[in-house]
Structure formats: C-alpha cells, structure tokens
Structure 1
Amino acid sequence: MNQPNRHEWFVLEDGEKGVEVIEDTKIPNAATIKIYKQDHTLANMLRAQLLALPCILFAGYRVPHPLNPHFLLKIQTDGSIRPVEALEQAGNALLKLIADLQMKFKAEFSYKDVEGDAAAPEDPYGALPTGMGSSAWGASSRDYADYS
C-alpha cells in the first residue's frame, strides 16, 4: 500500500527539525508555527493553553491534510511578549499540568494498594454465568482487564 509506516508519522529522523517558526509580516505580533510529526491531540492542548494566557489575542490551529503529519499553529499576542515566548509559556504550563495529572493518577492507584481486599467491592460486571470458571476465561474470573 501507499500508506507510510506508522512510526514515520511521529518519530523525527536524525537532523529533522520538529518546529519551524514563520513570522507574519501582515499581522502585528503574530506568527505561524509549523510543528512536525504531531496531530490534533497536541495542537488542541496547546491552543487551549495559549488562550488561557492573558496576553494572547488569537490562537488557532489547522491540519492542512490528514496524510501530512504536521499542524500549523497561529498565534497573535498583544505585543507584551513575542508569539514564540507565549508558546514556550503555554508548553511549560501544559507540561506542569500533565505532570500534576500523572502524580494524581499514581496517587489514586497507590490508594488502591493500601486499601487491599479487606472490603472487596462488588464486581461491577456481575458474576460469571454458571459453568464459565477460570479455565474458560484464563487465570482470572473477570472478563475485563484488572491491573492489580
């Protein structure tokens, strides 16, 4: 088929740049930033984080074509900072937010280990039908992934 290998869409090759900044000459305090090997996930998070900054007048993105693994992020500021600096602030805030989320996620799973099976909660999926023991479902008697 003509479809490239999946890793080629997200892994930068040796010497390949990940970001290209194009200063806008028609709009003051604006720039278009082309970010390679990324998709809507990062673009939307960056856009939302940029719009949370008080110095941002406009932030938006577009993916020119679904088969091209890059997006264009347009940023316009009020002039107090440059668009690239605003992107750096938004990226740092996003990294902090993700680190906080990861910490909360790990803490929640550590509570599960502390609680133990003393008050074993009722199985939300119910009991297995009669005759379908662990031999039919593998080592566990549950029909969903249990990562404990």
Structure 2
Amino acid sequence: MNAPNRYELFVLDDGEKALEATEDTKIPNAATFKIVKQDHTLGNMLRAQLLSDPSVLFAGYKVPHPLNPHFLLKVQTDGSIPPATALENACTRLITTINTLEGRFKREFSFKDVDAGAAGPTVNLGVPDDPYGGGGATAWGAQRDYLDF
C-alpha cells in the first residue's frame, strides 16, 4: 500500500521544522508558510482566523497532495503588520478560542454528570421518558420505538 505509516503523519523527523516561511517577491506584503505534519483541520481554522483580522487582505491554504502531510498557507496583509505577525496573532486567538471551547465543554459535561444523579422527566406511567424507546414500558408502549409515530 502507498500510504505512509500512521505515525509519520504527525511526528516530526529529526531536524524537521514544523513551519517554513517564504516571502513572496511578486505580491507586496505576502508570504507563504509551509506547515508540516498538519492537514485541512488546522489549515481551515487558521485561514478563518486570519480572515477575521482587518489587516489581512488574503488568506488561503492548499494541501498539495493527500499523502504528503503538510499544507501551504498564503497570507497577504495591508502593510500595517507583516504576514508572520498576522499568523502569530491568528494562532494566539485560535488557541484562546479552543481553550474557551474546552472549558465550556468540560463545564457542560460536568453538569451532565450532576443531572444524571437526579430523577429525569417522567411520563404518565411513572417511567423516565426515553425518546429512543429503550426503557421498557413507556408512554408509547413496550412494542414501539422512536421511529413509530
């Protein structure tokens, strides 16, 4: 099979850099960044964060080949900040956003654990309401499931 070993997709080799920057000589205030051992997930998030910055005129990425674990990110700014600074600011905002999302997820998940100890909503038969019909005798009857309307 042509696919590389799984660990080769995310573990940096000895001496391999995670980021390579190349200044664009044809377009003013532009640079291309090669981000190694990453894919569309990070590329799309960075592109979105860069485009939310008013000083960024263009941000786009491409994955040259699916078997090569890297992508190219092109950034052009209006000249008020260099492209490398715009990328650094976008990374900082993205890390903050992900940390906020993680905190909210953990908080909501801890509420779920607290709610699991309390009695859930009940129906006429005194049995907890199971929308998927898996709790034995429910308001729909023991022979029906959630697809039976």
Normalized against structure 2, the TM-score is what?
A: 0.82
Distance 1:2 1:44 in 2: 26
Deviation (angstroms), 1:10: 1.1
Residue aligning to 1:96: 96
C-alpha displacement of 1:129:
7.5
Match for residue 13 of structure 2? 13
Instruction: Kindly state the Cα deviation for residue 128 of structure 1 after the two structures are TM-superposed.
Output: 6.3
2:107 corresponding residue in structure 1: 107
Partner of 2:56: 56
TM-aligned CA distance change 1:52 to 1:118, over 3 Å: same
2:125 alignment counterpart = none
Q: Are residues 1:123 and 2:130 paired? A: yes
| Structure 1: stretches of 5+ with no match in the other structure | 131-148
Stretch moving more, 10-19 or 40-49: 10-19
Pick closer, same or farther for the CA change 1:124–1:12 going to 2, 3 Å: farther
Does the CA-based 8 Å contact 2:4-2:67 persist in structure 1? no
- Distance, in Å, in 1 between the alignment partners of 2:131 and 2:8 is 41
Identity over aligned residues, as a percent?
A: 67
TM-score by length of 1: 0.82
Structure 2 gaps of 5+ residues are 122-128, 138-149
Residue 114 of structure 1: SS of its match in structure 2? Answer: helix
The total of aligned residue pairs comes to: 130
Deviations 1:52-93 (A, max 9, x none): 001000000111111111110000000010000000000000
Tell me the alpha carbon deviations over residues 32-69 of structure 1, each in whole angstroms, 9 at most, x when there is no partner.
00001100000000000000001000000111111111
Question: Shift in Å at residue 113 of structure 1?
Answer: 2.2
How do 1:28-107 and structure 2 match up within 5 A? 28-107=28-107
> Equivalent residue of 2:117, what SS?
coil
3-state DSSP class of the match of 1:43? helix
